[in-house]
Amino acid sequence: MDRLVEAALAAREYAHAPFSGFRVGAALEDGSGRVHSGCNVENATYGLTQCAERVALYKAVSEGGRGFRRIAIAADNAVLTPPCGACRQILWEFCGDIEVTLANLEGKTETLRLSALFPRPFDASYL
């Protein structure tokens, strides 16, 4: 199994999802090969909930990570779960067209480019 998928699966174990029960882990590889992981952290208001992808990215940036290469996202759904729209936007702005691997607990994976999930992103080029 890919080390990034393993890290995402491990991060999922730390998820704080008392309301939805939907636990997600993410692992992001930076330009130097370091892996930064994160899990979703729910809040009773839901709107203040942080997704695993954003937690991993913000953690990576706060630790000096740059030049991101790829991300793995692991959830406990039979159907592979892509990042939400907000995460797609943040990933695009910080990472560009990186490789995204979706994984589940059954060992199923799919790898695609972020542009396949987010074909017409808004970014600084529009400002």
Catalytic residue flag (residue 53): yes
Q: Tokens for 65?
A: 């990570």
- Please state the φ and ψ torsions of residue 60, each to the nearest 5 degrees: -60, -50
Q: Which of 23, 16, 39 is nearest to 76 (CA)?
A: 23
Q: Which of 53, 63, 99, 106 is catalytic?
A: 53
Q: Tokens for 59?
A: 């953690």
CA distances from 46 to 9, 17, 43, 104, 127 (A): 23, 10, 5, 23, 30
CA distances from 15 to 32, 33, 57, 66, 115 (A): 26, 24, 15, 24, 27
**Active-site positions?**
53
